Amino acid sequence: MLEIASHWTRVPGYLDTPSYGLPARATADALRTAVDAWQSGTLDLAVIDRAVERMRAAYATLVGAAPADVAFAASTSQVVGMVAASLPDGARVVVADGDFASVCFPFFADPRLDVKVVPLERIVAETRPGVDLVAVSAVQSSDGRVADLTGLAMAARVGGVRTLVDASHAAGWLPLHARDFDVVVSSAYKWLTTPRGIALAAIHPDATWIRPVSASWYGADSPWESLYGPEMNLSRSARRLDTSPPWQLVEAGATALELLVAQGVDSIYRHSVGLANAFRERVGLTASTSAIVAVDGVDPSALRAAGIRASARGGRARMGFYLYNDMADVDAAARAVLARVPQPA
C-alpha cells in the first residue's frame, strides 16, 4: 500500500470507491468537529472560507489547473446545467453513448440544443468544426473505460470546439491537464474522498462564455460585502460561478484533498492501476490504464457474501482499486470472482 494509506482505517474487500470513497481518519474527524461546532453554535465562518480556498488550491493541483480557475459547486449536474444554459440557441453538442446521466441529461433537457450521441470511441472524430461543445467523462462510470483526452484536446484546438470533461471517476488517480479543456468538473465524494455535497470545476480562464446562471453572493471576491442587491460585483475569476459552500463539509473536504496532494497523483495512479491490472491478470482479463474493472457474469451480492464490496453496473460487477487497497484485496476479489464464473472444461 502507499504510505498515505496509513491515514485510512483498513476496510478489507472495499472495492466500491466508484460509488463513494472512504474518508481518511482526519477527514472523518474534521467532519465530526464541524458538526460539534454547528451544534454548539461555534462555527467560525472565516475558517470555513479559508477551507474553501484550500480546496480550490488542492483541486487545482490534482487536475492541472490554477486555484483561480476553480469554481465551487454542489454537484456535477449543476455545473453541466450551467454550461448547457450558456450555449446559444441551436448549439450542436456531442455526448458519448451510455455516459453518466449528469453529463448528458442537462443537454437533453434543453430543447434549444441539438444533441448528438456517439460511441465513446467516436468522440475525438466527432470533435470537429461545426460542433459547439463536446461533453464526456474522462473515465466511464459503468465500466472504467478511459477517454482519449489527449486526442480530444488536440481535436478541440484544431476545430475550435468547446469541451466539458467530467472527471468524477478520474480526479485523484488519473493525471489530468485541465487547462486543455474549457471545464473539468468532479463530484468529490468518490475518488477525492470528501463528504457528499461538494463538486469542484476547473474553468479555463478563456471560458468567459459560461454565464453564472446560479449567481450567488459567494461569487464575489468579497462575499461578505456582497450579501444584498441590487449591486452585483461578481469575481472575474472562476469564482463568479460559485455557489455557497456547505459549511459543515468544507474542512473535511479540504483535509481529504490535501492528503491526496501530499501523495501525488502519479504515485496514486501507479498504485491503483497496478492493483487493478494484477486483478485483471488473475481473472483472465487484459491489462488496462483504468483503476475501474467491470466483470461480466458476476453478481455483486454474491461477492458481498465473500467479503467483497462492489457495485452492479450494466449487468456487470464493477470494482475500483484505490490508495487504501492492497494485494490482499486483489487476491480476495480474484478468488471470489473465479468461484462464481463458469470455467471452460
- Letter string b/e over residues 125-160, b meaning 16 or more CB atoms within 10 A of that residue's CB: ebbeeebbbbbbbbbbbbbbbbbebeebbebbeeee
> According to CATH, what is the number of the domain 29-261?
3.40.640.10
Write out the chain's pLDDT in tens, 345 residues: 677 778 999 999 999 999 999 999 999 999 999 999 999 999 999 999 999 999 999 999 999 999 999 999 999 999 999 999 999 999 999 999 999 999 999 999 999 999 999 999 999 999 999 999 999 999 999 999 999 999 999 999 999 999 999 999 999 999 999 999 999 999 999 999 999 999 999 999 999 999 999 999 999 999 999 999 999 999 999 999 999 999 999 999 999 999 999 999 999 999 999 999 999 999 999 999 999 999 998 888 889 989 999 998 877 899 999 999 999 999 999 999 998 755 443
**What pLDDT, on a 0 to 100 scale, did the predictor assign at position 91?**
98
Q: Is the dihedral of CA 34, 36, 37, 38 positive or negative?
A: positive
**What pLDDT, on a 0 to 100 scale, did the predictor assign at position 4?**
78
Contact 106, 77 (CB under 8 A): yes
Contact 145, 290 (CB under 8 A): yes
Domain ranges of the chain: 3-23+264-338, 29-261
> According to CATH, what is the number of the domain 3-23+264-338?
3.90.1150.10
**What pLDDT, on a 0 to 100 scale, did the predictor assign at position 334?**
96
**3-23+264-338 and 29-261, same CATH topology:** no
**What pLDDT, on a 0 to 100 scale, did the predictor assign at position 339?**
86
